[in-house]
């Protein structure tokens, strides 16, 4: 082992990569200074030294809830992982994943080496792409009315208006289900794996535009152009009806990383 920790020092893990890649971690950013590669049993761990009390112990919970404190560290984490992703397959660690020593990290890698190796074999040149479906309720509501005008003229009683609104909402729900199922099926044909991710609409949850699907796809390098084209076609086809599709990526494969126990969950110092 090339480094020995001192009291209060921990090793911050950004990601793992298969050995055999000459990773260049040089960066013009001072925020990424001190990042180094440590090799163990065919696995390269990308690390930096940190003070354990930054992420653990008294005051750590408050800091991890403070966006002003977390944001630059999370940005550094993601920048390092993406830098490695540009040079080799990568298994990203969660933000604030700590090991108290290189011995601890070595035990972890040896315990999970078969799972880690299997992940890299499956991953190959594939990368994660995110697709969100965004529903504009204002546009979609007009679509629902246009499809089937109410049988009665405006100004009828309240119950009739509510019945019309309910029928329109049911038709919209059926249409969204059909479109989203077909879209996901078509995109899956260009991917090797697929995940439905947690929906998050931010603070403006009452706004007219709502995220209704949040998908992650693991896409082979040779299929990325067709995948991107298909998302664009879906957006052009359904956008005028109020359902747009937004593509982002490529990203490190967080959504497809194997479960490796609490060591890779973040915000924890290992013995």
Q: What is the pLDDT of residues 170-204, one digit of tens each?
A: 888 898 999 999 999 999 999 999 999 988 755 44
Domains of the chain: which residue ranges? 9-123+256-264, 127-252
DSSP string, the chain: ------TTEEEEEEEEEETT-------S-GGGTT-EEEEETTEEEEEEEEEGGGTSSTTHHHHHT-HHHHHHHHHHHHHHHHHHHTTS--EEPPTTBEES-HHHHHHHHHHTHHHHHHHHHHHTT-EEEEEEEEEEHHHHHHHHHHHS--SS-TT--HHHHHHHHHHHHHHHHHHHHHHHHHHHHHHHTT-SEEEEPPP---S-TTSSEEEEEEEEEEE-GGGHHHHHHHHHHHHHHHGGGTEEEEEEEEE--GGGPPP--GGGSSSB---
Q: What is the pLDDT of residues 63-95, one digit of tens each?
A: 888 899 899 999 999 999 999 999 999 999 999
Domain made up of 127-252: CATH architecture:
2-Layer Sandwich (3.30)
Q: What is the pLDDT of residue 146?
A: 42
């Amino acid at each position: 082992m090339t480094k020995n920790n001192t009291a209060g020092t921990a090793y911050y893990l950004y990601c793992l990569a298969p050995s055999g890649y000459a990773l260049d971690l040089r960066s013009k950013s001072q925020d990424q200074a001190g990042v180094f590669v440590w090799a163990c049993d065919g696995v390269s761990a990308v690390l930096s030294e940190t003070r354990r009390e930054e992420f653990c112990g008294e005051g750590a919970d408050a800091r991890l809830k403070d966006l002003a404190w977390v944001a630059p560290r999370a940005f550094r984490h993601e920048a390092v992982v993406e830098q490695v992703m540009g040079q080799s397959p990568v298994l990203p660690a969660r933000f604030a994943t700590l090991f108290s020593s290189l011995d601890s990290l070595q035990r972890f890698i040896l315990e999970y080496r078969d799972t880690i190796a299997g992940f890299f074999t499956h991953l190959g040149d594939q990368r994660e792409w995110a697709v969100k479906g965004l529903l504009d309720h204002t546009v979609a509501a007009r679509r629902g009315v246009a499809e089937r005008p109410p049988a009665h003229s405006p100004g009828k009683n309240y119950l009739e208006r509510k019945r019309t609104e309910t029928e329109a909402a049911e038709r919209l729900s059926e249409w969204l289900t059909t479109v989203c199922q077909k879209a996901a099926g078509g995109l899956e044909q260009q991917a090797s794996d697929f995940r439905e991710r947690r929906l998050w609409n931010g603070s403006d949850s009452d706004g007219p535009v709502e995220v209704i699907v949040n998908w992650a796809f693991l896409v082979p390098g040779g299929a990325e152009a067709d995948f991107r084209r298909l998302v664009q076609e879906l957006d052009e086809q359904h956008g005028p009806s109020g359902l747009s599709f937004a593509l982002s990526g490529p990203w490190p494969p967080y959504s497809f990383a194997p479960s490796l126990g609490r060591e890779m969950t973040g915000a924890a110092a290992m013995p």
